[in-house]
Amino acid sequence: MKCSIIKYCFLLFITCLFTNEYGYATTIYVGKNKAYAQIKKALAASKNGDTIMVTSGLYKEGNIIIDKSVVLLGENYPILDGELKHEILSIKSSNVSINGFRIQNSGRTTMSDPGGIKIYDAKNVTIEKNILINNYFGIYLQYAVNCVIKNNVISASQKEENRSGNGVHCWKSDSLQVIGNKIEGHRDGIYFEFVTHSVIWRNIAKYNLRYGLHFMFSHNNAYITNYFKNNGAGVAVMFTKKVTMMNNTFEENWGDAAYGVLFKELSDCYLSGNRFIRNTTGIFLDGSNRIKAERNLFLNNGWGMRLQANCMDNLIAHNDFIGNTFDVTTNGSLTLNEFYQNYWDKYEGYDLDKDKVGDVPYHPLSLYAVIVEKNPPAMLLYRSFMISLLDKSEKILPSLTPENFIDNKPRMSPYNL
């Protein structure tokens, strides 16, 4: 009896897998010498659960609306061309998959924000292994849930921010996975606003006009093993709480208002294993509280960390500060943050008990860094004899820098990060 029930359940599962509400799922072919010459006609003839196989070729069909639960599969990257007039793929149904297309030349208008692919109020949509070129927005999600954006190449060549949308744009969505995408030349590489419980993992965002990653009001998200290089202003994280950022690289983001990452009004976040390499500023914290930053590398930046006076209850521990012009700076006299067992390459103390921790506390904040923070033109005096003398005397007898801006247990050797 038990064996019969198991067999029945298995057959029922297989039946459900290969059928839909109208009968058995089928594969519909589109292309030259196929059943349908146009994708739109194949969609009109399809049923929920069907697969539409599109062979290679050039398809100029305007706006293609997908309002059924289908799989749209490209063979040898067929080209969907919007002719700079249309939104190309509009997904208005849940349980849709788009795989293997070259999608190019979407329309451009700020009134409707057209995209190469746009998801409208849908669940369980997968966008995978597509090439999106010269679109206004690459992939746009609004009111989306449980969607996967994976292994796509997204590029644009606009030169001005107001003429370009974002590579992956997500708005008022939940439980998204943005994985393994390569994004270049858009306004922002990845943009999150009012997005929760989502993961951004293994993406490469470089040479974007503004930010490689930009998210606002987006709580309880994780950003893991991403690479952000040479974006106009780096990465911006604003008005957000409960974020995890691990094993990301922020590299070569240069400019007066450029940062490896900007934290504005951020709280209750965790940073670990990140690398800030050759940026104007590694991390800029403004109004950010209760952040734990540990085991991060700050290498060859102008400023390793700029910690504004309106930040409090942050813990900066077990990090490496190497080769930065200024390791840390602030714009106030009150310090309500803790530095603990970081490695500072400028530390000149000693370790008589050989426990790998300096016996003399270290003041990482130089007088000159404070002066430059308040009067940027003072940077012209960098490396002058008088400035070097002032810094040395200030570290011995702090008078103008906050006395409690201190690492009481500085490491003698760098961590293996």
Q: What is the pLDDT of residues 95-148, one digit of tens each?
A: 999 999 999 999 988 788 999 999 999 999 999 999 999 999 999 999 999 999
Fold of 2-396: Pectate Lyase C-like (2.160.20)
Confidence at residue 132, expressed as pLDDT on a 0 to 100 scale: 98
Query: Which pLDDT score, from 0 to 100, does residue 381 have?
Result: 62
For position 121, what pLDDT does the model report?
97
- End-to-end Cα spacing for the chain: 59
Q: What is the pLDDT of residue 330?
A: 86
Query: pLDDT at position 39, please?
Result: 96
Write the DSSP string, 346-415: T-----TT-SSB-SS-B--B-HHHHHHHH-GGGGGGTT-HHHHHHHHHHHHS-SSS-TT--BSS-BSS--
What pLDDT is recorded for position 384? 63
Rounded Cα–Cα distance for residues 302 and 259 (Å): 10
> Could you tell me where the beta strands, DSSP code E, fall in 243-329?
243-246, 249-251, 259-272, 275-277, 281-286, 289-294, 297-299, 303-307, 312-317, 320-322, 326-329
Stretch 354-375: mean pLDDT: 80
Q: Are 366 and 326 in contact (CB under 8 A)?
A: yes
Is 23's pLDDT higher than 90? no
Flag whether pLDDT at 11 surpasses 50: no
Which of 150, 57, 26 has the alpha carbon at shortest distance from 99?
150
The confidence band for 368, taking pLDDT boundaries of 50, 70 and 90, is low
- CA–CA gap between residue 379 and residue 400 (Å, rounded): 18
pLDDT value at 328 more than 80: yes
Residue 399, both tokens: 């008078």
* Statement: residue 412 has pLDDT above 60: yes
Q: What integer pLDDT is reported at residue 278 of this predicted model?
A: 96
For residues 250 and 110, the model is more confident at: 250
| pLDDT-based confidence at residue 64 (cuts at 50, 70, 90) | very high
Residue with the larger pLDDT of the pair 393 and 45: 45
By C-alpha distance, which of 325, 345, 316 is closest to 414? 345
pLDDT at 240: 95
Is pLDDT at 242 greater than 90 in this prediction? yes
pLDDT computed for residue 245 by the predictor: 97
Q: Is residue 292 predicted with pLDDT exceeding 70? A: yes
pLDDT value for 88: 97
Whether this prediction's pTM lies above 0.85 is answered by yes
Average pLDDT, the chain: 89
Residue 193 has pLDDT above 90, yes or no: yes
pLDDT at res. 203: 98
What average pLDDT does this structure show over 178-198? Answer: 97
What is the pLDDT averaged over residues 11-36? 67
d(CA 109, CA 114): 7
Q: What is residue 401's predicted lDDT score, i.e. its pLDDT?
A: 64
pLDDT of 7 > 50? The answer is no
* Residue range 373-401: mean pLDDT, rounded: 64
CA distance 115 to 89: 8
C-beta separation of 69 from 48 below 8 A: yes
Find the mean pLDDT for residues 189-199: 97
> Which of 57-61, 216-220, 378-382 has the weakest average pLDDT?
378-382
Asked if residues 243 and 265 have their Cβ atoms less than 8 Å apart, the reply is no
Structure tokens at 8: 């029945």
The mean-pLDDT minimum among 10-14, 105-109, 174-178, 302-306 falls in 10-14
